[in-house]
Amino acid sequence: MAKAEKVDAVDEIAERFTTATAAVVTEYRGLSMSQLVDLRRSLGAGATYRVAKNTLVKRAAEKSGVEGLEDLFVGPTAITFIEGEPVDAAKALKTFAKDHKALVIKGGYMDGRPISVSEVEALADLDSREVTLGKLAGAMKAKLNETAGLFAAPASQVARMTAALKDKKSDEG
């Protein structure tokens, strides 16, 4: 790789580090090209899977101010740069790693700090943003229905009491 190409690669990786909401470092040793294509496809449009040389990634991380990942850049390294919500990409990586033992999740970087493998897996176990918003909307609707029922209860009690009083008067009279 010529020096100009290396500089361009470092600049591109540094740019991805700064624009991504999260990055997950993996080892891909033993995966075929078709499996890597399947992995990239499963990550979706919000994530980019980039294979890069460790020295270039270290320089790019240093250039973009990412610290604490140096120990992860050993062996064949690939980084998943995630734009937007990291949950779906983390789920895709975890599922792919479960099906393909050759993919090893080493750790990652999110919210300005390194994250461990267990944190990446915990992120993958979370519900997606849409599911969480749906659950929140359902809970809010249930509370609104409950409140509406509480406001309607006194009026219906008065109506029942009036009907009972009317029945009582008609029975007496």
Mean pLDDT by 10 residues, the chain (173 residues): 82 90 90 90 88 90 87 89 88 90 90 88 81 85 84 81 84 75
Q: Of the residues 111, 126, 141, which one is the last residue of a structural domain?
A: 126
Q: Tell which phi-psi region holds residue 158, choosing left (phi > 0), alpha (psi between -120 and 50) or beta.
A: alpha
Angle (deg, nearest 10), helices 86-99 and 33-43: 150
CB 59 within 8 A of CB 65: no
Q: Rounded to two decimals, what is the model's pTM?
A: 0.72
The length of the chain is 173
Q: What is the pLDDT of residue 122?
A: 86
User: For residue 121, how far is the Cα from the chain centroid?
Assistant: 10
> What domain range is 64 assigned to?
3-126
Query: Which amino acid is present at 44?
Result: G
Residue 28 shares a structural domain with residue 108:
yes
Residue 121 shares a structural domain with residue 149:
no
Residue 86 shares a structural domain with residue 162:
no
